[in-house]
Structure 1
């Protein structure tokens, strides 16, 4: 079953000096940390506390398109949108914006995992609605 909608979760990003590489901009690997943080925060913000205790999320795939570099003093925001669910998988689009500029976009696939067994768990309709209401 695939459910589609477009609620967006806004997550501010703070760029630290450790995020900057020898070229003077945010290192590409840092974006993966930011995606992980933003999607998990989205889950924590939107889901019931009891669901947070029994379900975990594991990243399966990230596809990243870098458009322009980010620098130490830039103000950045991650906008996370759930784009669908199927079985134990959920897909998300995470857009990193500096003001009106889209600097990086990430399409990712995540697996819902039972917190006790650590095995994939089908995403129930009530959980899908946490991300994809409507």
Structure 2
């Protein structure tokens, strides 16, 4: 299982169940036939920036931080509105021109979408190259990104 898929499963689990400890998370994932180690879960917790919140009666449970609870599309939209200058598609490629220093954040948000039309992304400081699986997908993805900006 890929990291992104595992972390999506972790997010669903902590939203649906009162997971208090890393060991509980390891056990639940193993029950779902997702073999993980304590070290992997520890890295995922750090990477996902999970926090512990009161769950009543002196117990705590894992939760997503407030910023992480927003859907990836909402975070991307909010970021693109202030960062995107323009975009252009050619064949199966999209070039996004952004404000300096914003490309890495935008690239991360695009990757969080886990859009199967996108093969890969490459970012610099102020631009991103999005490689789509077809020219048709590139046109559609660019149209969606431009619609987010308005």
Normalised TM-score (structure 1): 0.27
Larger Rg: 2
Normalised TM-score (structure 2): 0.26
